[in-house]
Amino acid sequence: MKHCIIIGGGIIGLCSAYYLQKEGHQVTVIDQSDFSSGASYVNAGYITPSHIISLAAPGIITKGIKWMFNPASPFYVKPRFDLDFFKWAIAFKKSATATKVASSIPVLKDMNLISRTLYEEMQTSKDFDFFYEHKGLMMFYKTDKAGEEEWNVGKKAIELGLKVENLSKEEVQKIEKNIDLNIKGAVYYHSDAHMTPNEFMPQLKSYLLKNGVSILENQTIEELQISGDKISAVKTKNQEFKADEFVIAAGSWTQELVKKLGISIPIQAGKGYRINVERTTNISIPAILMEAKVAVTPMNGFTRFAGTMEIGGINHTINPVRVNAIANAAENYYNDLKIYQEEKATAQCGLRPCSPDGLPFIGRISSVKNATIASGHAMMGWSLGPVTGKLVSEIIDNKKTSLDIQPFSVERKF
């Protein structure tokens, strides 16, 4: 048995704690928040085997430059003088090639499928009782161009063994009978499932506490003490914690944290927003509004509208222009829907840790023998939480990993 300290209490950190305690380790989770906010609570709740194309896709740079001048655009990069950002942007540009995207497709698919199975194992166990539905995901499009682009992705997914259909508007309306859609059609991925994040996270935290995991909130790590080629302890303002193994799962804060170890991991924060509509919308199947890049999820008791990717550093400022853009897009695709000002006023945001190539960083650092990194999942953090946690426990136990972790190498070159 080892004592493992996990820095970061989002979905990745708590899933790592879950699998480590299952293997009999003593686990402590330390987080700077109070475990009630952040990207793990405000995301769309998707488990997405369909998301086989990484964020660093060909053409995104051109779109990004165009969108940079539109504060309401789905993908917004805030220009700023920051060396880490420049390095990340160069690495992102190098990664946005057809070859690199093609090589990451099977990796992302396999990760998501394993994660879906792990969520289902949790859901059917006696330890949890959370909302989980496997209804698939519809990609709604308004233009033939968007429809063709998505169907090309759909055909790749079919080649990988996923069930995908290309539906006309009339075929979609036969499935979504109680809403009036303003679309041309949809690409329907049957592989996907969805959950209610702010229901699952407290359940997972409660399970961990019940099973002997120590959870320390509102504690910011100020120092990582190194002894030889290992971390010997971490220090917060008032306390020092020693352990055998350290997992850094600090999301968008990971890059700053690992600098204390003398290493550089390129991660930028990508801000996303969500609006909850806590009344009947009659929406029954999750959808992505393609041209607007807005995710729509029927959760347990409400409907969530989430979207935007805003690369603008670490900040939690709510930009009403972007919130309005999400609401306007939703009303534009769903004819009977109206999102009210008081609903927009309760919008929240979260910071997603984005790697330059759309693949997470999962693995050991060669220079620090007892440190494992688990970060950089971008928009797929929720979907990839369980598989990442399982991989972390396998790495620490020196077991054969559930899948090849070479693509997630912390020290890969960009």
Question: Residue 388 has which token pair?
Answer: 């990442």
Q: Is there a contact between 346 and 276 (Cβ–Cβ < 8 Å)?
A: yes
Q: How far apart are the first and last CA of the chain?
A: 36
* Residue 280 CB contacts under 8 Å (≥ 6 apart), including other chains: none
Say what the pLDDT of residue 302 is: 98
Q: Which own/partner contact pairs does 73-79 have at CB distance under 8 Å and 24+ positions apart?
A: 73/325, 74/292, 74/293, 74/294, 74/307, 74/308, 74/309, 74/325, 75/293, 75/308, 75/309, 76/308, 76/309, 76/310, 76/311, 76/312, 76/322, 77/311, 77/312, 78/310, 78/311, 78/312, 78/313
Say what the pLDDT of residue 75 is: 80
Partners of 348 in beta bridges: 274
Q: How far apart are CA 41 and CA 36, in angstroms?
A: 7
Cα-based distances in Å from 311 to 79, 166, 250: 9, 32, 17
Instruction: Find the helix or strand (DSSP H, E) in which 292 lies.
Output: none
* Residue 210 CB contacts under 8 Å (≥ 6 apart), including other chains: none
Identify the DSSP state of 181. Answer: B
Instruction: Find the helix or strand (DSSP H, E) in which 338 lies.
Output: none
Listed residue (211, 45, 49, 47) closest to 128, CA to CA: 211
Say what the pLDDT of residue 58 is: 74
Say what the pLDDT of residue 64 is: 66
Q: How far apart are CA 382 and CA 47, in angstroms?
A: 7
> pTM (2 decimals)?
0.96
Say what the pLDDT of residue 89 is: 86
Say what the pLDDT of residue 101 is: 85
* Residue 140 CB contacts under 8 Å (≥ 6 apart), including other chains: 172, 181, 183, 185, 186, 287, 288, 289, 290, 333
Q: How far apart are CA 404 and CA 406, in angstroms?
A: 6
Question: Residue 164 has which token pair?
Answer: 């995908």
Identify the DSSP state of 377. Answer: B
Integer-rounded Cα radius of gyration of the chain: 21
Query: 3-408 has which CATH code?
Result: 3.50.50.60
Identify the DSSP state of 302. Answer: S
What's the one-letter identity of residue 198?
A: N
pLDDT, tens digit (0-9, with 9 covering 90-100), for 60-73: 766 666 666 677 77
Say what the pLDDT of residue 133 is: 97
Listed residue (292, 251, 243, 248) closest to 269, CA to CA: 251
Q: How far apart are CA 409 and CA 389, in angstroms?
A: 16
The string of DSSP letters for 15-54 reads HHHHHHHHTT-EEEEE-SS-SS-SHHHHS--EE-TT--S-
> How do the pLDDT tens digits run along the chain, 414 residues long?
999 999 999 999 999 999 999 999 999 999 999 998 899 999 999 999 999 888 777 777 666 666 666 777 778 777 778 899 889 988 988 888 888 888 999 999 999 999 999 999 999 999 999 999 999 999 999 999 999 999 999 999 999 999 999 999 999 999 999 999 999 999 999 999 999 999 999 999 999 999 999 999 999 999 999 999 999 999 998 899 999 999 999 999 999 999 999 999 999 999 999 999 999 999 999 999 999 999 999 999 999 999 988 888 899 999 999 999 999 999 999 999 999 999 999 999 999 999 999 999 999 999 999 999 999 999 999 999 999 999 999 999 999 999 999 999 999 999
Q: How far apart are CA 330 and CA 351, in angstroms?
A: 22
Q: Is there a contact between 14 and 36 (Cβ–Cβ < 8 Å)?
A: no
Listed residue (358, 361, 375) closest to 104, CA to CA: 358
